[in-house]
Amino acid sequence: MLAIGLMSGTSLDGIDAALLETDGERDVRPVAFVGTPYSDEDRAALSAATELALLFNDPGEHPLIERAETLLTRTHAAAVAALLERAGVEARSVDVIGFHGQTVAHRPDKGWTWQLGDGAALAAATGIDVVADLRVDDVRAGGQGAPLLPVYHAARAAGMARPVAVLNLGGVGNITYVGDGDDLVAFDTGPANGLVDSWVEAESGARFDEGGALAASGQVDAAVLTAMLDHPFFDLAVPKSLDRHDFTIQPARGLSPADGAATLTAFTAACVAEAIDRLPARPTRLIVGGGGRHNPVMLRMIAERAGVIVEPSDTHGWDGDALEAEGFAYLAVRSLRGLPITFPGTTGVPAPLTGGTLYRATRAGLALRVVTA
């Protein structure tokens, strides 16, 4: 099938849209990718909705959140149009869109997770069937609802020596361990870019620490780092997940801008090192995707603290910017085929489980394409 995947992460930096040809199993061929940044106005609206959602005891309604959802769906439809133009592909040739939406609150401990995004409206706007609400079934069944992409990581790592680990450094970090026989273990590691981004924005107005330059000019405060690692999250059994707002930059308050950036970057690295110690075996390689792979200071700290060779995903021919969006295209195809997308070792769900809600587009006569070699 030919599928589009859409991802808007907790960093709120923009929308990733990827076109993927896949059978939802081992056949995977990335076709095209477009990254669309949010405007300052749109980012502020989504951030405000996220802050408000944290006050809810479960997903609910509010005019500000409804406006943010409309905005989010409209911008995702525009991202689909940009992707199709980039690829030179017509909408009627695409079988499905995997629509992650925007996570505004994630509380699996309370039995719910909340992603903004109107799947029906996106299907109507694009003329393409949409699979959305990909985390909901897993959480309802007792899983963490995250991370969702380990099965895609395993598909991309097919043929590599095992065990191998894939680390995603987005706003929150998560790691996938692929063992012999494609055994999967996955969980959130802790904050990745999220705290560093928040710190840099608060201190300078910039959105992120470009190239890790600010962190490189500072010193790690060992006392603050130790205090941040004394958090209940690290005592939880795996698999486990978290909300970006489970951690804050407050412990670093009082440090200089450079020392704060260095300390929070070291905290991300320490989170990854702690996660690797929990894996069933030391991976032969650690492949890193997500925005954090562009930060050489963060990668160096991870390598030093974890004692592993860190390899940006691009060195293996994987576009680390597109990887998550590709994964949601892959999950949408698996959902259409009734294949599991979450597993006991990845989310803690009791048994392998498919998921997602299908929203049909108002189009006639479009059969699912069968891609042959």
User: Which SS3 state, helix, strand or coil, does residue 21 take?
Assistant: strand
120 and 252 inside one domain? no
Q: With respect to residue 369, please indicate whether it lies within any of the assigned structural domains.
A: no
The total number of structural domains that make up the chain: 2
Domain hosting residue 47, numbered range: 2-147+325-359
Cα separation, 231 vs 240, whole angstroms: 14
288 and 354 inside one domain? no
pLDDT given at position 133:
96
Cα separation, 348 vs 159, whole angstroms: 26
308 and 189 inside one domain? yes
272 and 336 inside one domain? no
pLDDT given at position 10:
76
Query: Taken in order 24, 19, 146, 286, is the CA torsion positive or negative?
Result: positive
Map tokens 């006991």 to a residue: 344
142 and 72 inside one domain? yes
pLDDT given at position 370:
33
Q: What are phi and psi of 66, to 5 degrees?
A: -65, -40
Cα separation, 290 vs 294, whole angstroms: 8
Q: With respect to residue 371, please indicate whether it lies within any of the assigned structural domains.
A: no
Q: With respect to residue 372, please indicate whether it lies within any of the assigned structural domains.
A: no
Percent of the chain with pLDDT over 70: 97
Strand order in the sheet with 130-132: 28-37, 14-22, 2-7, 96-99, 130-132, 357-359
310 and 168 inside one domain? yes
Reply yes or no on whether the pLDDT at 289 is more than 60. Answer: yes
Cα separation, 176 vs 187, whole angstroms: 7
Q: Note the pLDDT tens digit of each residue in 9-60.
A: 877 889 999 999 999 999 999 999 999 999 999 999 999 999 999 899 899 9
Q: With respect to residue 348, please indicate whether it lies within any of the assigned structural domains.
A: yes
197 and 97 inside one domain? no
pLDDT given at position 363:
60
132 and 181 inside one domain? no
The chain-wide mean pLDDT, for the chain, equals: 93
Of 82-86, 141-145, 177-181, 299-303, the one with minimum mean pLDDT is 177-181
Q: With respect to residue 32, please indicate whether it lies within any of the assigned structural domains.
A: yes
More confident residue, 159 or 226: 226
208 and 305 inside one domain? yes
Indicate the pLDDT class of residue 366, thresholds 50, 70 and 90. very low
CATH of the domain at 52: 3.30.420.40
Q: Is the pTM of this model over 0.75?
A: yes
